[in-house]
Amino acid sequence: MKDPQFREIEQSISLHGLGFVQVRLQAKQRLHVWHPDLPRRTCFKHSSIHDHRFAFVSKVLVGVQRNVRYEETEVPVGHGTHVAYRHDGMRYAQGGRPWDACACVTVRQAFVQDVYAGEVYTMPAYMFHETRPLGDGRVATLMTKTFEGTEGARSLCAIGVTPDTDFDRHQLSATALWDVVADVLGGRAVDAAQEAVA
């Protein structure tokens, strides 16, 4: 991995390697907008299972979102289905955090939930899951953080696959990202979101 240059400032709107736009709002809220044309990290198909250091409540605003929860069992190094990587530390210049291998695990699907526009779902902190936009791939959610832990979040990457540590969260301009949000939510909603950014 290249020697990173670090960046401390968080932008109000950014691209996430899991294929969505993230808008930082006030009161511990985030607007997440998925779109099929957004770039994803190169290892996406092998590393979409992740957790968060915080618990949250999320309302689907547009589209249908499938949430899949997983249960993991830690196994000896070199065994299992995935390597767990912890994301602690300052962000790289590209916007992502370090990927530090912390365990080998076997995961199994535990629960599947399809959430439609207008419905709400919850997610505990440190629960492995993946989120899939259904339909035409255009989904928007409003997430509110509740509890926040101290250890960094983790991503799982299939054994034998190298994580994409160089995904550039700044590869699209803020204008291009707002255009994606407008395509999914419509112009008036974008105006309201821009007024509410932190």
Instruction: Render pLDDT for 81-102 as a digit per residue (tens, 0 to 9).
Output: 999 999 987 887 887 888 999 9
Instruction: Render pLDDT for 44-57 as a digit per residue (tens, 0 to 9).
Output: 999 999 999 999 99
Q: Tell whether 76 is covered by a domain.
A: yes
The residue segments making up the domain with residue 36 are: 6-164+172-196
What pTM was computed for the model? 0.87
Segments of the chain assigned E as strands: 6-7, 13-16, 20-24, 29-34, 54-62, 64-75, 82-87, 91-92, 100-116, 120-123, 129-133, 139-148, 153-158
The CATH number of the domain holding residue 24 is 2.60.120.10
Q: Tell whether 1 is covered by a domain.
A: no
> CA triplet 130, 82, 120: central angle to 5 degrees?
15
Number of independent structural domains in the chain: 1
Q: Tell whether 191 is covered by a domain.
A: yes
Q: Do residues 155 and 33 make contact, with C-beta atoms less than 8 angstroms apart?
A: no
More confident of the two residues 191 and 26 = 26
Which residue has tokens 């105006």?
191
Q: Tell whether 10 is covered by a domain.
A: yes
Q: What is the mean pLDDT of the chain?
A: 89
